[in-house]
Chain A
Amino acid sequence: MSGQGQRLNVVPTVTVLGVVKARLIGATKGHQLLKKKSDALTVQFRQILKRIVQAKETMGDSLKASSFSLTEAKYTAGDSIKYVVLENVGSATVKVRAKQDNVAGVKLPKFEYFTEAGETKNDLTGLARGGQQIQLCRSSFIKAVEVLVELASLQTSFLTLDEAIKTTNRRVNALENVVKPKLENTISYIKGELDELEREEFFRLKKIQGFKRREVEKQMLLNKKHAEVAALKQTASLNGGRGQSDNNLLQLEADADEDIIF
């Protein structure tokens, strides 16, 4: 793909080859690990998604029920009961605490609610009318709040997990499609270059060998000739014949010429 044909800008040497090979091994290992992480996250993600759907359905039901129980309370206790209850409230009784959960190295925020004891002073509200409905309304809204807190927790986990999965997948893909091909290309490039160098070297060596052999042969030939000339000269001087010596010289020259031509 995008990494195809690309390679690292390195000097093609054996050492670098070793380094790059080590990097490729590292990248493959990393790719495997990240792939596993991504899979684990996806499994978790699917589970959360399922739970979110369930929570949303219950939320719809419980909110519907609780708002209708508010209507019932208003019906029996009068419209102004809303304000009476509101004015009676000092601080929140249901509070939310944030925790962290760890899934495959991803920190997921988790909310859990807890009730602060000793804050429920609405016991006697609507004593003369609709007290029971108010209590029912209260409990059904508490249930709704519980579902909402759970849903909030799931939703934040969902978002964080989504982000984490995206980055992990990006890394997996980057490793698979960019880094690894690049390293492989580099390795093949270096190997190619090294082979080339080797061939060149071999050829050079062969050439030099041939040259040397010829050189040696030539030297040997020359030596032979010199030896012959020397031998001739020796015989001529031994015979003392000029003409012969001239003849010999001519022949020698012709030989030398021949040699020059050759």
Chain B
Amino acid sequence: MYGFEALTFNIHGGYLEAIVRGHRGGLLTAVDYNNLCQCETLDDIKMHLSATEYGPYLQNEPSPLRTTTIVEKCTQKLVDEYKHMLTQATEPLSTFLEYITYGHMIDNIVLIVTGTLHERDVHELLEKCHPLGMFESIATLAVAQNMRELYRLVLVDTPLAPYFSECITSEDLDEMNIEIMRNTLYKAYLEDFYKFCKKLGGATSEIMCDLLSFEADRRAVNISINSIGTELTRDDRRKLFSNFGLLYPYGHEELALCEDFDQVRGVMEKYPTYNLIFAKLSYGESQMLDKAFYEEEVKRLCLAFEQQFHYAVFFAYVRLREQEIRNLMWISECVAQNQKSRIHDGIVYIF
């Protein structure tokens, strides 16, 4: 149905697309970032932000400002916007919007399960959860002692239930299993999201599949790099890679065998898209890889705004906001810690 969604898209999606494009205009620009980089204190940052869309959220903060407060308030803004869009959305856009938050939901579940294992207070843990990933029964997660119970009592009612089918086999919950569980869940989530987008068809499917493939490939590379030198076996590593993306399946096989960063690099250089990213890094240096990936992601997300009548803009908007919050966090931390020489290392300019 490619090309024809223009006829009917605006019946349900037009209003929200207008809203999201309006929000896009509120993203900080390079000029804003340049101004923010000139700040000497966190209060200066607050002053600069008061001229942007973040103004109302930071307005009533008392003066000894902290980085966490800034990040918290900016996230609050994103959550408010998201909730507004979600309440206005109709099917299938509402499901699409919900899909966006599943990643945070997985993180929250894992956080609470880990906390419960160490007998922390559940309410304390709930405060630490990401607001985008909250669901109703999240507080009851604390009762679960093993995976089976966790699934039977709590998760069966959440949208994440199908993802657990893969990792239900592991009986006890220790730190190793939990981290693997998180990644298995995330893998299942990405695959499901991918399938869902394919089903939606049209420009949405075209753009979203591209974005999700990039996400999956990035995860595969990161997992490979981060699992070097840990107890994670090659087969386990291979199992955590999502079954789509540019690297699937041959790249995954090769990545699973990598023993150091330069081998990963060797694998990635065969792919022209990633070759460009790795070309920016000098040999043996993996520090700036994250930033390079972030930059590439932002570039792709921005391109999503170039087309009309599709849902990928919502995904792109939420991701861009998250990147913006990361940028703000980086700037505030650099200012607070007096590390202004490093300030440009972390900023990914969005437009």
Contact = CB atoms under 8 A, between A and B. Distances in A.
B222 A67 contact: no
B94 interface: no
Interface string A121-132: 111111111111
A123 B222 contact: no
Contact of B290 (A121, A127, A130): A130
A207 interface: no
B223 interface: yes
A84 B326 contact: no
A68 interface: yes
A90 B182 CA distance: 19
B319 to A, nearest CB: 13
A124 B176 contact: yes
A80 B109 CA distance: 12
A124 to B, nearest CB: 4
B107 interface: yes
Nearest to A122: B175
B330 interface: yes
B222 A128 contact: yes
A116 to B, nearest CB: 16
A64 B329 CA distance: 17
Interface string A120-153: 0111111111111100000000000000000000
B contact patch SS: helix
B114 A87 contact: yes
Contacts of B114: 84, 87-88
B15 to A, nearest CB: 31
A124 B329 contact: no
Contacts of B128: 80, 83
Interface in B98-131: 107, 110-111, 114-115, 117-118, 120, 125, 128-130
A171 interface: no
Interface stretch (A14-22, A37-45, A70-78, A177-185): A70-78
A226 B110 CA distance: 142
B61 interface: no
B39 interface: no
Nearest to B176: A124
Interface string A34-73: 0000000000000000000000000000001001100110
B230 to A, nearest CB: 5
Interface string B81-111: 0000000000000000000000000010011
A128 B230 contact: no
Given A74-B329, A89-B118, A123-B231, 9 more contacts: A64-B339, A79-B68, A83-B115, A87-B114, A87-B115, A124-B230, A128-B186, A130-B222, A131-B225
Interface of B: 68, 71, 75, 107, 110-111, 114-115, 117-118, 120, 125, 128-130, 174-176, 179-180, 182-183, 186, 219, 222-223, 225-227, 230-232, 240, 286-287, 290, 326, 329-330, 333-334, 337-339, 342, 346
Interface of A: 64, 67-68, 71-72, 74-76, 78-80, 83-84, 87-90, 121-133
